[in-house]
Amino acid sequence: MKKYIKHLYILTLIVGVSVFYSFKEHQSDKNPEKDQVLMEALRFILEKGHYEPKLIDDTFSEGIFKNFIENLDPYKRYFLASDVAQFKKYYHDIDNQIIRRKFDFYNEVIETFAIRLKESEGLYEDILKNKFDYSVKESINLDAETAEFPINKEEQRNIWRKHLKFSTVNKLNDYLKEEEDKAKEDKNYKAQYFDVLEKKAREKTLDNIKDLFYYEHQTPESDRFAIFLNCITAQFDPHTSYFAPDMKKRFDSSMAGSIEGIGARLSDERGYTKIVELIPGGPAYKQGDLEVGDYIVKVAQGTKGEPTDIVGMRLTDAIELIKGKKGTTVVLTVKKVDNTYKKIAIVRDIVEFEDTFVKSSIAIKDGKKYGIIHLPKFYIDFSKQEQRNSAIDMRIEIEELKKDGIEGLAIDLRNNGGGSLSTAIDIAGLFIEKGPVVQVKYKNNKPDIRNDEDSKIVWNGPLVIMVNELSASASEILAAAMQDYKRAIIIGSKQTYGKGTVQNVIPINQYLNYSEDLGALKLTIQKFYRINGGSTQLKGVSSDIVMPDRYSYLDIAESKLEAPLNWDQIAKATYSNNNYYSNFSQVVSQVQNSISTNKQFNKIDEYAKWLKRNQDHLTYSLNLKTFQSDQEKLNIEAEKYKDILKYNSPYKFVSPGYESKLVQVDTILKDKRSVWHKNLHEDIYVNEALEALSQLKVAQ
């Protein structure tokens, strides 16, 4: 099964589905009637409202079977092979149970899980009583895809022993390194004995595993049932998901939507807490060390706090440890995409909305000026006080840059996960006359062609748009429209993320007369299409000029998710893509050839391949010396690539004229722009975008 990631790009639209029931409320915590009501409501909404509803058949049943068991036991250390064999009687019956509103499969799996959970609890304390033998040559495979369920209790114990030993080896290695560093700093320091550190490592592993089991025991019935329901919704597509009432509240107040914390969107990937997105302007974004694709494995409160291992912990509980009050420090131990480990201290703060807005800079070379606009989100009404709108802000920035005499404009959409569709259309309209920008389609309906209705062109000069693998949704709409009109050169990764679907968050009680809160459903209801007729789904937008980057070979695109909707094509809209530039093809060819022979880009491509090899390597030695040697080798290799993305640009970066006056009196803004301009100066991708921009000539 492909890696399953819950991505959180949401566009709020209205869906034409309603369902009405009236039932009496039961007071017990476990309410079979309520579960039946919820199941029927979800089934109805999914079948009637989903853009591409799936047939609930035996294949559908197989997917739920696999997903539910893997969600409960991703590392195959609770269930026995005989348990799974027993569950197999439901392999082709879960679909029938959904239709009949029966839960035989769910109930038996949950009951068996509770038994195995209790049995496993009796194992770990016994295993951690005694010192491990770290000289034995053995390893652990953490690839959930290839791992198998234990055939008996003895094999199960050995699996637990390996997991506990792996955790202890990690901690012991950290303690040994800390002692080594202290000895280097102070020659009189008396290092602790190995046995003392080994016992300390085992005790810390014991504390962490107790926490894990505590969280498992505290998991409410509604959350377990929500996991099951999400295994059903996941068969439709990766963006359709169910939120139980408590989970919805935690989701709303978590760092994924809160303005206080570290400013990151997280997902649960087989027991690991993964960074999905960094919120522009947030503490993690500013600190700079945390990256999309990193896994958080430990969380410590303050620089002196003992870290808590969160591998295997529920995402909601992990979030509770990570988020916190403004001004407090959280120390995250993260597993980087290259398999190295790094401690990152982040001071929690309130995400500054101002940093998520459009901002611009001027690049100067040989007396010529070029504008750069960074658009982190397609926002609208982002601040209720100011009613900010990304399209209006973009227009203002362009008008100001024009006053400064720019000869070309680059728009940076890298890492922009999307947002408001209407602002994407309005921004496209700044560069073209009236015409179609995107096609939006409900199932079984004709596509709705969304047009730019304003004939005024705000910028008619050379235009380059920067993208990468994390440019998604509305970013892809803007880039695709500019490419179809041949209005801009698209430069960046081989293709963008490939999310061509729209979701709506539906409170289930909105369509159901029931006294208890039944939660909400995030439902895929529409698909985007380019004006040339092709979907942005899966394929995204292919760059005209491709630049190697560190994400080139990593599994982070829509196509790598489980059960994504297919790419398809509809009729093209009526539009004209006259040759806007006299030398478009020549510039694309020349810059692409330059990148292909550039030694730094070749090195970046080598780095990207190295990252992919390490991401796929999931077998670790449990021999302490070998483990230390492997980690040291990884650290040395990582050090070789430490500054691989750094560049010394020939361009000088300054604030636009109107902002130059502001930075003279606003020291905070001055510091922010100073950091941004330094980053632009060291960004090889910005340099190549400017090189392409400087060569483009508008046809007369």
Average pLDDT, the chain: 88
Residues 6+ apart with CB under 8 A from 162: 138, 140, 622
Residue 383 has pLDDT above 70, yes or no: no
pLDDT digits (tens, 9 = 90+) for 140-176: 998 888 899 999 999 999 999 999 999 999 999 999 9
pLDDT digits (tens, 9 = 90+) for 286-344: 888 888 888 898 999 988 888 888 887 777 788 888 888 888 999 999 988 777 888 99
Taking residues 1-24, what's their average pLDDT?
29
Measure Cα distances from 43 to 221, 272, 545, 683 in Å. 20, 30, 45, 49
- Cβ contact 105:70 at 8 Å: no
Choice among 473, 493, 535, 694 that is catalytic:
473
Helix/strand number for the chain, H first, E second? 20, 22
Choice among 298, 499, 522, 612 that is catalytic:
499
Residue 6 has pLDDT above 80, yes or no: no
Helix or strand run (H / E) with residue 423: helix 421-428
Amino acid identity of residue 378, one-letter, is: F
Taking residues 180-198, what's their average pLDDT?
88
Residue 670 has pLDDT above 70, yes or no: yes
Helix or strand run (H / E) with residue 463: strand 463-467
Amino acid identity of residue 257, one-letter, is: G
Angle at 42 between CA 39 and CA 47, to 5 degrees: 125
**pLDDT confidence of residue 16:** 26
Closest CA to 424 of 491, 386, 480, 462: 480
CA distance 382 to 277: 18
Closest CA to 539 of 486, 571, 497, 573: 497
Exposed/middle/buried for 691, CB within 10 Å: 0-12, 13-18, 19+?
A: buried
Confidence label for 633 from pLDDT (cuts 50, 70 and 90): very high
- Output the six-digit token pair for 323: 């988020």
- DSSP alpha helices (H): ranges in 91-152? 94-100, 104-127
**pLDDT confidence of residue 183:** 86
User: How many other C-beta atoms can be found within 10 angstroms of the C-beta atom of residue 27?
Assistant: 5
CA distance 595 to 535: 29
Residue 187 has pLDDT above 80, yes or no: yes
User: How many other C-beta atoms can be found within 10 angstroms of the C-beta atom of residue 305?
Assistant: 12
CA distance 419 to 428: 14
Residues 6+ apart with CB under 8 A from 146: none
The torsion angle over the Cα atoms of residues 292, 282, 318 and 148, rounded to 10 degrees, is 0
Choice among 83, 268, 349, 484 that is catalytic:
484
**pLDDT confidence of residue 27:** 34
- Cβ contact 540:447 at 8 Å: no
Confidence label for 528 from pLDDT (cuts 50, 70 and 90): very high
Q: Is 475 a catalytic residue?
A: no
Residues 6+ apart with CB under 8 A from 443: 50, 51, 52, 53
- Cβ contact 423:380 at 8 Å: yes
**pLDDT confidence of residue 335:** 87
Q: Is 499 a catalytic residue?
A: yes
Taking residues 190-199, what's their average pLDDT?
92
Beta bridge partners of 278: 264
Q: Is 304 a catalytic residue?
A: no
**pLDDT confidence of residue 481:** 98
Amino acid identity of residue 478, one-letter, is: L
